[in-house]
């Protein structure tokens, strides 16, 4: 079976189509149609783009190759040659350039009309497709960033989970099978971690202990919390406490085994190793009560807060240094109280002597007789300063300028603020368009020449080495 690729001109099913009929067909079938003479000059055109481009009227009387960008000229020449030799050309995408800086992507097919050398180029406006592709790329990049951010958070908590001297297990809420276990919990259960994971959770040296644990888990599921229970494992006494952790529409039990006899010394030693690791961590770490009052802090936190000793921090609310007083910290603590954890909470940290730092805070609540909250505080100022300048905190920069009130004349403040805002939006447009200055000018609604002037003013030409 043969494949029909074109109309059979011999059949004459279309009749003797006149110029008016051909024009009507081209108008209905294309977004852009160009009538080109034997010398490659545009003699007539149809524009059905939305929105219409009045600037394209300037194409009349010009060579087709002179209306496109430099990289598209070769494609135009190939389509004209193929149309003259084979009646029609392959489809190719070219970009038309306008004096305003706008570029119009069009997919053309060139067709020879009769034997007089005239050619019609029929095109489809690709701006909608290009916009969809741009949004798809941006969405993929955002997903990639989120994926790696979550991987890093998971790695940090996995490391803390494995190094903790406190015995911790994760148990499926419906099947009661062990999902994960740290080495300390495996030692308490008298088995290797691989032997514990996947089997039903049972704890205690006898059935009475096991029944006690099951009642404790049932109470946690129904009420959300329950008092710790006492059991014996391998002849040692433990206090077992469970908390319910929601996950993907289901729930897990987070079970802690706290030694209360001779094994306590070993657990305490393991805990002291964790404490020593946190004390030496380059990230700030603080422990507070549920109201945000500091109970303990490591040297890195004291350095960020510009404090000499831990005693200066104890008993003080964290919002003395973190975020806006009564705002950021209360929001963070509310998330922790409701969900048990808060991840990568972005805010600022102020030192006692005026130094500020951009920080990310991850926090988790530890339940017990006296619930506490552990906060890991990472200074991300260096990372932000190396990020694209379009991501800089415009509000903070304006606030810095506001600090000059009374020291600098109002007209100078207004001029500097306008320059700051203009530069910020130019950087944002360049980032949005992946550095394509022609597209950035279109996004900003200015001419390409005007954008180049502003780029030179802000020193971008010296960085990039040209106007490309």
Residue 441, classed as helix, strand or coil, is: helix
Nearest Cα residue to 55 out of 38, 79, 32 = 32
pLDDT for 321-338, tens place per residue? 887 665 678 888 888 888
What tokens does 13 get? 């099913």
End-to-end CA distance of the chain: 51
Q: By the 8 A CB rule, do 64 and 95 touch? A: no
CA dist., res. 7 & res. 52, Å (int): 31
Q: By the 8 A CB rule, do 423 and 458 touch? A: yes
Q: By the 8 A CB rule, do 401 and 416 touch? A: yes
Residues of the chain scoring pLDDT < 50: 1-4, 7, 9-11, 13-14, 262-267, 384, 386-392, 462-468
What tokens does 67 get? 């209306």
The edge-to-edge listing of strands for the beta sheet with 372-379 is 294-297, 284-288, 372-379, 356-366, 341-350
Do domains 164-267 and 391-464 share one topology? The answer is: no
Q: Tell me the fold of 391-464.
A: Arc Repressor Mutant, subunit A (1.10.10)
CA dist., res. 134 & res. 394, Å (int): 25
Bridge partners (DSSP) listed for residue 33: 46, 122
DSSP tag of 308: S
**β strands within 198-332, DSSP E:** 229-233, 236-247, 250-259, 284-288, 294-297
Q: What is the pLDDT of residue 116?
A: 65
Peptide bond into 72 cis (omega under 30): no
pLDDT for 155-193, tens place per residue? 777 777 777 778 888 888 888 888 888 888 888 888 887
Q: What is the pLDDT of residue 401?
A: 63
Sequence spans of domains, the chain: 19-125, 164-267, 280-385, 391-464
Kindly state which CATH superfamily the domain 164-267 is placed in.
PAS domain (3.30.450.20)
280-385: CATH architecture: 2-Layer Sandwich (3.30)
Average model confidence (pLDDT) for the chain? 78
Q: At what angle do helices 410-432 and 394-402 cross, to 10 degrees?
A: 170
**Helix or strand run (H / E) with residue 428:** helix 410-432
19-125: CATH architecture: 2-Layer Sandwich (3.30)
CA atoms within 13 A on the CB side of 451: 26
Q: What is the pLDDT of residue 74?
A: 92
Q: What is the pLDDT of residue 467?
A: 45
Q: What is the pLDDT of residue 185?
A: 82
């Amino acid at each position: 079976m043969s494949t029909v690729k074109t109309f059979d001109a011999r059949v004459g099913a279309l009749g003797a189509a006149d110029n008016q009929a051909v024009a009507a067909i081209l108008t209905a079938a294309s977004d852009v149609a160009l009538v080109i003479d034997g010398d490659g000059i545009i003699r007539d055109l149809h524009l059905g783009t939305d929105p219409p481009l009045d600037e394209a009227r300037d194409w009349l009387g010009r060579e087709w190759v002179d209306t496109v960008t430099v990289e598209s000229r070769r494609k135009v020449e190939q389509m004209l040659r193929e149309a003259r030799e084979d009646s029609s050309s392959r489809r190719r995408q070219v970009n038309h350039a306008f004096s305003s800086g706008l570029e119009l992507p069009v997919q053309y097919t060139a067709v020879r009309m009769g034997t007089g050398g005239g050619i019609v180029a029929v095109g489809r406006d690709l701006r909608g497709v290009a916009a969809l592709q741009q949004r798809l790329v941006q969405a993929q990049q955002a997903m990639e960033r989120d994926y790696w951010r979550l991987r890093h958070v998971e790695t940090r908590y996995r490391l803390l989970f494995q190094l903790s001297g406190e015995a911790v297990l994760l148990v499926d809420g419906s099947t009661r099978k062990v999902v994960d276990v740290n080495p300390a919990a495996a030692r308490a259960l008298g088995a290797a971690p691989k032997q514990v994971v996947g089997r039903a959770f049972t704890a205690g040296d006898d059935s009475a202990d096991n029944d006690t644990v099951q009642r404790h888990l049932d109470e946690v599921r129904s009420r959300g919390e329950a008092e710790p229970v006492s059991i014996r494992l391998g002849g040692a006494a433990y206090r077992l406490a469970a908390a319910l952790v929601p996950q993907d529409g289901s729930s897990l039990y987070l079970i802690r085994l706290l030694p209360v006899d001779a094994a306590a010394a070993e657990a305490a030693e393991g805990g002291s190793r964790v404490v020593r690791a946190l004390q030496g961590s380059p990230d700030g770490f603080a422990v507070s009560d549920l109201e945000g009052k500091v109970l303990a802090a490591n040297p890195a936190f004291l350095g960020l807060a510009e404090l000499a000793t831990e005693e200066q921090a104890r008993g003080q609310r964290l919002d003395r240094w973190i975020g806006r007083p009564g705002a950021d910290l209360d929001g963070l603590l509310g998330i922790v109280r409701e969900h048990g954890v808060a991840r990568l909470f972005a805010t600022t940290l102020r030192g006692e002597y005026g130094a500020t730092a951009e920080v990310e805070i991850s926090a988790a609540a530890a339940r017990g007789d006296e619930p506490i909250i552990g906060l890991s505080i990472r200074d991300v100022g260096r990372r932000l300063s190396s990020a694209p300048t379009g991501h800089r905190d415009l509000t903070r920069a304006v606030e810095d300028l506001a600090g000059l009130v009374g020291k600098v004349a109002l007209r100078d403040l207004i001029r500097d603020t306008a320059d700051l805002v203009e530069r910020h939006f130019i950087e944002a447009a360049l980032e949005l368009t992946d550095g394509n200055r022609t597209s950035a000018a279109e996004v900003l609604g200015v001419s390409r020449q005007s954008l180049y002037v502003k780029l030179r003013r802000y020193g971008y030409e010296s960085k990039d080495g040209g106007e490309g």
